[in-house]
């Protein structure tokens, strides 16, 4: 068990992408995501939610950010348009 503040995003790929987009609209652009079982949840996010965020222009793979000369320590976890 882990302490501290947190929230759960539950739903379809589209529904979870919608919630992440809502947080982003409020100014939140970095997320610490976890789930259990870890491997299956990481796969679920990577194969289902991240492509939706990419289509919406909210996320791009880390290699794409480097190609534009940007340097971010965790580009995969930062949404586009952040300041």
Q: Please compute the mean of the pLDDT values over residues 11-25 and round it to a whole number.
A: 95
Amino acid 1: pLDDT: 57
Does this model's pTM top 0.85? My answer is: no
How large is the average pLDDT for residues 45-57? 94
- Residue 59 near residue 22, CB atoms below 8 Å: no
Q: Is the pLDDT of residue 73 over 90?
A: no
Greatest mean pLDDT among 18-22, 38-42, 73-77 lies in 18-22
């Amino acid at each position: 068990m882990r302490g501290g503040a947190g929230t759960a995003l539950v739903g379809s790929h589209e529904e979870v992408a919608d919630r992440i987009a809502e947080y982003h609209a409020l100014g939140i652009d970095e997320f610490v995501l976890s789930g259990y079982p870890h491997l299956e949840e990481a796969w679920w996010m990577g194969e289902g939610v991240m492509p939706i965020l990419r289509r919406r222009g909210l996320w791009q793979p880390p290699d794409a950010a480097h190609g534009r000369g940007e340097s971010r320590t965790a580009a995969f976890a930062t949404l586009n348009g952040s300041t």
